[in-house]
Amino acid sequence: MVAGAATVAYAHFYELNHFTVRSEKLPVLPEGAQDFSILHISDMHMIPGQQKKIRFMHSLAELEPDLVINTGDNLSHLQGLPSLLEALDPLLDIPGVFVPGSNCYYAPIMKNPARYLWKQSTADEGIDDARVKLPTEQMHEAFEERGWVGLINRFDVMNFEKLRLEFSGVDDPHIGYDEHPGFSPNAFSTDDTPSVRLGVCHAPYLRTLRRFVDDGAQAIFAGHTHGGQVCLPGGRALVSNCDLPPSRAKGVSLEDDVPVHVSAGLGTSRFAPVRLFCPPEAVLVTLTAGS
C-alpha cells in the first residue's frame, strides 16, 4: 500500500509537470531539400493556474522552429482559454497550423480512467448535448488572428523560402467529426519548389491514417493518446484510447511506409492528473531529405 501511494504521488506531483522536449527526424523531403523543423504540440488540456506549463511553453520559442503543428485537445476547463493563450503567446508569432480534439469542443467529464484496460475505444459513445461546451470559436479566432491556419476538414498550402508544405487536416475522428478533404490538386504543379504532403489529425484512428495514406500523405501528425499516460517502466503503453496498437501510442511508426508521428502530449484531463513513465512532451520534428 505504501508503494502504491508513493507511485501515485510521484505520478501526480513530479512526472505530471516534468516537461520534456523530444526530437525526431523524418526523411520525407525531396533529395537536396534543406532541413525543415516542426514543433509538434498536442493535448495541453489547459486549466487556470498551470504556471509550470506556461513557463515551459514559453521556453519552446527558443527552439526557433520553422512551423508549429497543434493537434488539439487544448482545454480541460471552461475558464482555461486565457491561460492557454498566455502559454501559446510566443509560439503564435511562428507560422502554425491546428486541428481540434474533443476537448477543444467539450469540457471533460468524470470517467473511470482505468476503463480502457478492459474496454477497447473505437470511438466515443457519441457527444451528449448536455456536456459543457468550451469557447471553441473564440479560441480558433484567437489562433487565426495571430496567423495560425485551421485545418478543420480542409486542405491548405503554405509556402516557405525553399519548401512548400501541402496539408490535409480533419476534425476529431474520436467523435466522428472527420471528413477528409484530400490534398490540393494543384499544389505540386505550380513551380519547382520542393514540396511535401502532411496529414494532420487529433486522434490517430487506423481508418484516418489509411485515408491520409490513400490520399498521398508523406507524413502524418497526431496526438490524443497521451502516450498511454500510465505506462509500464520504459514507457511501454498499455492503451492508446483508440484502435491504434498501444505499441504505436508515442513516437514514429509506419502506416504503409508512411511515417506517423504521435505526440504523448503536454497534459491530462483534470479528472485524471497523473502520468507514469510517460512524461509530458513537446516534440521537435526535423524533416530531412530522403535517401
Query: Percent of the chain, pLDDT > 90?
Result: 81
The alpha carbons of the chain give a radius of gyration, in whole angstroms, of: 18
Average pLDDT of 32-41?
97
CA atoms of 13 and 228, how far apart (whole Å): 18
User: Which domain CATH number covers 79?
Assistant: 3.60.21.10
- At 110-147, the pLDDT tens digits run 665 455 444 455 445 455 556 789 999 999 999 999 99
Average pLDDT over residues 62-86: 97
Calculate the average pLDDT of the chain.
Answer: 91
Percent of the chain that is helix, strand, coil (3-state, to 5): 25, 25, 50
The answer to whether 278 and 226 have CB atoms below 8 angstroms apart is: yes
pLDDT in tens, 187-219: 555 577 899 999 999 999 999 999 999 999 999
- Tell me how many degrees the CA angle 276-277-279 measures, rounded to the nearest 5: 85
- Tens of pLDDT, residue by residue over 79-108, are 999 999 999 999 999 999 999 999 999 998
Which helix (H) or strand (E) segment holds residue 6: the answer is: helix 2-9
Q: According to the model, what pLDDT value does residue 10 have? A: 55
The pLDDT score that the predictor gives to residue 131 is 79
Residue 64, CA distances (Å) to 59, 61, 251, 282 in order:
10, 6, 21, 13
Cα distances (angstroms) measured from residue 87 to each of 52, 204, 281: 10, 25, 14
Tell me which residue range forms the domain holding 182: 2-289
247-260 pLDDT per residue, tens: 999 999 999 999 99
Q: Quick check: 2 pLDDT over 90?
A: no
Q: Name the band, by pLDDT with cuts 50, 70 and 90, for residue 8.
A: low
Q: How far apart are CA 184 and CA 188, in angstroms?
A: 8
DSSP string over 177-201: --------TTGGGS-SS-EEEEEE-
Amino acid at 277: F
pLDDT at 5 over 70: no
User: What's the total number of domains in the chain?
Assistant: 1
The type of residue at 32 is G
